Amino acid sequence: MSNQWSISASFSWNDFQHIRVYGLKPDGTIVEWQYDGSWTGPSVLGPKADPGTTLAVVHTENNSGVHIRLYYHADGRIKELAYENGWVPGSILP
């Protein structure tokens, strides 16, 4: 197993006033760095992805805020982590 972190996904909104960068620690822990005028993180998001895999992220913004979906591979499945005013487990893809 590598001892290096990997950066797998990122996105921004409001003309780069807000940026999110997602990565994996060597043990598969999913982490997030946040830019909202200055950088913070990494914050541990909770679940672990299978080591050596990558992440994918999509987002949308509406009147109720920013909604993020992060996808990762774990336990032989593609799983979703959803941000809706806090991170929660989402769907497991078929």
Encode pLDDT of 30-79 as tens digits: 999 999 999 999 999 988 999 788 999 999 988 888 899 999 999 999 99
In a domain, 1, yes or no: no
In a domain, 54, yes or no: yes
In a domain, 93, yes or no: no
pTM of the model: 0.88
The rounded Cα 24 to chain-centroid distance in angstroms is 9
pLDDT at 1 over 70: no
In a domain, 28, yes or no: yes
Range of the domain at 23: 6-88
Rounded CA separation 69/84 (Å): 9
In a domain, 16, yes or no: yes
In a domain, 94, yes or no: no
In a domain, 64, yes or no: yes
- The domain tally of the chain equals 1
Q: What is the CATH number of the domain that holds 68?
A: 2.40.128.190
Peptide bond into 94 cis (omega under 30): no
Q: What pLDDT sits at residue 34?
A: 95
Please enumerate, as own/partner, the contacts of 54-61 that have beta carbons within 8 Å and a separation of 24 or more.
54/6, 54/8, 54/9, 55/8, 55/9, 55/22, 55/23, 55/24, 55/30, 56/8, 56/9, 57/9, 57/10, 57/11, 57/20, 57/22, 58/11, 59/11, 59/13, 59/20, 61/13
In a domain, 55, yes or no: yes
